[in-house]
Amino acid sequence: MIKLFIKALKVAKFKTIIYLLLSFISCFTYFAPIFLTYLLYDKMEQFLFNEISLPTVIIVLVLFYSIPFINSIFINQIKSIIRRSIIIKVNEDISQTFYDKLKRIPYERFESKEDFDDFYFVRETVVPSIVYNSLWIVDFVSAIITFVITLSFLLTIHYLLVIVATLLAIPYVFINRKFNLDVYYKNYRELKEIRQTNYLYYLLTNKDNKKEMIIDNSNSKFTNLWEKNYNSINKASIKIRRKTTYIIALYDFIYSLIEVTCIFLFFYLNKNEQINNTIFLAIVMTFGNISSSVLSLSFNITNYKVLSLNIKKFEEFKNYKEENVALSKEINDIELKNVSYKYLNNETNTLNDISLQLKKGYKYAIVGENGSGKSTLCKIIAGVLNITNGKILINEKEDNIAKDDVVYVMQSGFKYETTILENITYGDINAKVDIERVNMILDLLGLKEYVDSLPNKLNSQLGELKDNASFLSGGQWQKITIARALYNKNCKLIILDEPTSSMDPISENKFLNNVMPLLNDKIVIFITHHLKITSLVDKIIYMENGNIAEYGDSRELLNKKGKYFKLYHYEVSLLKR
């Protein structure tokens, strides 16, 4: 908890100190109305008996109305504004820590549903809780001070008042603690369902998905699934809200019980004495304050447990094993020696005892049936996945490939809804934007004429985030993702997963003729079934059941009349039809 306060000091030192001072001042101004009420009644009584002049009464009246006003409007409102400002700064800091850690966690952790749900829970529940309670220690100490001052005042009347007020608040502590813990664990249990509901909502509202749903008539099915999940979550939320209503009613009952019991006890203890009206009014107001101060302290105590759980969860997240970060280097060859890989929670290997050497300046095509291990092999080579067994050698030394040295273009590349220029130059975030290179790549891919026809050319907005944005076809988006890969001239390894799958034959031919020469100084891997590509590469890797079944150039494999031969002639027969 102290670390949270130190973090608040670190990111907003001046504002945190001001908040601390105002909190302690408000502890004492909390009782100003009691003192001023007592003083006002006393002075009014003296004025009625001509013991003091009118100006004195006016001064007390001004104090009576101005000090509570200052406390309420200035101190509390300024505290609220400063608190909000501090929370924003702490949120920036903790969120940055979260995302910095997230990007260093190995990719395979995201393949695990349990880990993914943990990450989601940390982002959606843990981080907001920690951020909101970053000033918990200040609020807790303030509550203690207010509580002690209140008890001290009651103690001057009778010690039994202190005991009764404290005992009556104890049930609140236990009830609130249990309720907060129930909500915490409920949120964790429902996390998977909430994530599924959000995913279904995305499917139903995304333009591209909507188009496919209309075509295959699946919209109603996904709508029903979303409604089912949404209603289930709502039922649980309504149950919590109902429980919250009961808890608040119980709080109010306890609050009133403390106040009434203390007043009754006060009369009982003073049943044989005459009670001054002024003292009685001050005491009644004190009893109201003892209720709120006890409940405020109780709330901070019960909140401690949930906050501790969230801090523990965040520390566990920060202690996740990170992937090894390799430095960028010149790469002449990459060699896999007896490499095997098994996904988390899988019983069998996806890759088995793979040995393969990739050389600079060579182009490779990985082919095979779906599920044969093509994409997994490429993720291993790119350093996205960490091998289960075996070795990876770079320039004959055991090492990992640096992320800056790899460009991996997925079959459905990510569509950044930014400008065309930003979409392409994200491929090399460390370099200064080279407009000439961007235009050259667009020209090679056959996109320059289209881009130049747009009103804002390279600065034209893509997607749906802004008005007047341009919409691209599937083939055009594929060219943009390839342009992003080609723009990064410093990369040493390029992996292209079905790079021409959305292109027409003319665009595909232009791509292969124009782009291939740009890749001569790199290691290039294609995941493809297109005969045009396999005929242009230096080596073909045929994958089957997680093994390399065949390896060689197109002529060698055709002469073997093995698996690649069958695949080749099957595709030729389809083209003839």
* Residues 63-96 pLDDT 10s: 776 766 666 667 778 888 888 888 888 888 888 9
d(Cα 110, Cα 113) in Å, to the nearest integer? 7
Q: What is the mean pLDDT of residues 453-461?
A: 83
Helix (H, G, I), strand (E, B) or coil at 393: strand
- The pLDDT confidence band at residue 429, using thresholds 50, 70 and 90, is low
Please list, residue by residue across 167-194, b when 16 or more beta carbons sit within 10 angstroms of its beta carbon and e when fewer do. Answer: ebbeebbebbbebbeeebeebbeebeeb
Residue 209 scores a pLDDT above 90: no
> Which pLDDT score is estimated for 340?
92
> Which pLDDT score is estimated for 575?
60
pLDDT tens-digit series, residues 7-45: 777 778 888 888 888 888 877 776 666 667 767 777 777
Residue pair 160/265 in contact by the 8 Å Cβ criterion: yes
Residue 576 scores a pLDDT above 70: no
Q: Mean pLDDT, the chain, as a whole number?
A: 79
> Which pLDDT score is estimated for 383?
84
Least confident of 271-275, 464-468, 498-502, 559-563: 271-275
> Which pLDDT score is estimated for 272?
61
> Which pLDDT score is estimated for 34?
67
The residues pairing with 560 across neighbouring beta strands, listed in sequence order, are: none
Cα–Cα separations (whole angstroms), residue 129 to 132, 138, 312, 521: 5, 16, 12, 51
> Which pLDDT score is estimated for 364?
93
Least confident of 37-41, 195-199, 330-334: 37-41
**Sheet strand arrangement including 523-527:** 406-409, 493-497, 523-527, 363-368, 539-544, 547-552
Q: What is the mean pLDDT of residues 174-191?
A: 73
> Which pLDDT score is estimated for 484?
84
Q: Report the range out of 114-128, 392-406, 484-498, 540-554 with the highest average pLDDT.
A: 540-554
Least confident of 278-292, 372-386, 398-412: 278-292
> Which pLDDT score is estimated for 23?
84
Give the position of tokens 């996390």. Answer: 191
CB atoms inside a 10 Å sphere around CB 93: 16
d(Cα 570, Cα 566) in Å, to the nearest integer? 6
Cα–Cα separations (whole angstroms), residue 440 to 432, 444, 512, 572: 16, 6, 15, 34
DSSP state of 350: S
Q: What Rg value do the Cα atoms of the chain yield, rounded? A: 35
Residue 234 scores a pLDDT above 70: yes
CB atoms inside a 10 Å sphere around CB 249: 10
Residue pair 437/487 in contact by the 8 Å Cβ criterion: yes
- Residue 175: left if φ>0, alpha if ψ -120 to 50, beta else—which one? alpha
- The pLDDT confidence band at residue 255, using thresholds 50, 70 and 90, is low
Q: What is the mean pLDDT of residues 381-393?
A: 87
Residue 507 scores a pLDDT above 80: no
DSSP letter for each residue of 59-70: HHHHHHHHHHHI
d(Cα 228, Cα 180) in Å, to the nearest integer? 27
> Which pLDDT score is estimated for 328?
66
Q: What is the mean pLDDT of residues 354-366?
A: 90
Residue pair 486/439 in contact by the 8 Å Cβ criterion: no
> Which pLDDT score is estimated for 276?
57
Least confident of 9-23, 67-81, 266-280, 562-576: 266-280
Residue pair 399/330 in contact by the 8 Å Cβ criterion: no
- The pLDDT confidence band at residue 282, using thresholds 50, 70 and 90, is low
d(Cα 305, Cα 370) in Å, to the nearest integer? 50
Percentage of residues in the chain with pLDDT exceeding 90?
3
Cα angle for residues 95, 99, 105 (degrees, 5° grid):
145
List the alpha helices (DSSP H) in 319-431.
374-382, 420-425
Least confident of 281-285, 486-490, 497-501: 281-285
d(Cα 446, Cα 125) in Å, to the nearest integer? 47
CA atoms within 13 A on the CB side of 209: 12
Give the position of tokens 């002049």. Answer: 53
CA atoms within 13 A on the CB side of 445: 27
Identity of the residue numbered 70? I
Q: What is the mean pLDDT of residues 277-286?
A: 63
